[in-house]
């Protein structure tokens, strides 16, 4: 990466506690799976791996709470928070500036209602930020890797109070860090403990 560009986006390349890009398993993944890839191929391959090979805890009704990128990689499971940490860690290790992004979405489209924060990523490729959502597809949820138009998991329905938060976050939002550290059961966290906004 050009040194001027690296300086400009340094914060989106750095590791953190949950975006542990220098952890051994993350580094090994990059070395083996992304070796020789151009940036677009690396981003697409990472997206598909995290979307398809790392199961969403709610979809598989898994109880394990994975918090960091390396835990999501090791156990191949996590909610959107851990999955977004993994996308960021892999691509930062590769050398692509990668941010965390957030939406406030309706948690359940039924009588349970309520809102929850949803996490996704933005990747800097070809002099532009492109958002991608590796949450994991299921009936009614289809996200794809696209640099032409966003193909995210969820359309934001502002008339229902949903919010597409602006901003590119270099580190996981504190409310998400607190939530992940406060829970040991992913299903219980998903039902009752997810943060509802960035406020």
Q: Is residue 100 part of a domain?
A: yes
Report the SS3 class of residue 1. Answer: coil
Q: Could you tell me if 120 and 132 are in contact, meaning their C-beta atoms sit under 8 angstroms apart? A: yes
Q: Is residue 118 part of a domain?
A: yes
Quick one: pLDDT at residue 112? 54
Quick one: pLDDT at residue 192? 87
Q: Is residue 199 part of a domain?
A: no
Residue ranges of the chain with per-residue pLDDT less than 50: 1, 3-4
pTM for the structure as a whole: 0.94
Quick one: pLDDT at residue 1? 47
Q: Is residue 81 part of a domain?
A: yes
The CATH number of residue 161's host domain is 3.10.620
Q: Is residue 86 part of a domain?
A: yes
Q: Which domain holds residue 117?
A: 3-193
Report the SS3 class of residue 135. Answer: coil
Cα separation, 42 vs 56, in Å, equals: 22
Number of structural domains the chain divides into: 1
The 10 Å Cβ neighbour count of residue 164 is 16
Quick one: pLDDT at residue 7? 60
Q: Is residue 198 part of a domain?
A: no
**Phi-psi region at 13: left, alpha or beta (left = phi > 0; alpha = psi -120 to 50):** alpha
Q: What is the DSSP string of 39-108?
A: HHHHHHHHHHHHHHHSEEHHHHT------SHHHHHHHTEE-HHHHHHHHHHHHHHHT--EEEEEEEEES-
Q: Could you tell me if 87 and 180 are in contact, meaning their C-beta atoms sit under 8 angstroms apart? A: no
Nearest Cα neighbor of 125 from 98, 143, 101, 152 is: 98
């Amino acid at each position: 990466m050009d040194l001027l560009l690296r300086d400009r986006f340094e914060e989106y390349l750095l590791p953190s506690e949950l975006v542990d890009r220098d952890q051994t398993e993350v580094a090994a993944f990059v070395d083996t799976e992304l070796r020789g890839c151009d940036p677009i191929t690396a981003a697409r391959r990472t997206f598909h791996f995290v979307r398809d090979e790392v199961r969403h805890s709610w979809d598989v009704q898994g109880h394990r709470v994975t918090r960091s990128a390396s835990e999501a990689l090791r156990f191949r499971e996590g909610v959107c928070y851990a999955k977004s940490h993994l996308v960021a860690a892999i691509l930062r290790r590769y050398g692509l500036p990668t941010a965390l992004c957030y939406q406030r979405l309706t948690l359940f489209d039924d009588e349970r209602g309520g809102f929850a924060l949803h996490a996704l990523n933005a990747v800097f490729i070809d002099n532009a930020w492109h958002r991608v959502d590796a949450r994991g597809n299921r009936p009614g949820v289809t996200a794809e890797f696209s640099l032409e138009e966003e193909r995210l998991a969820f359309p934001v329905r502002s008339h229902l109070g949903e919010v597409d938060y602006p901003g590119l976050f270099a580190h996981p939002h504190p409310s998400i860090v607190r939530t992940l550290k406060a829970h040991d059961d992913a299903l219980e966290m998903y039902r009752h403990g997810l943060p509802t906004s960035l406020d």
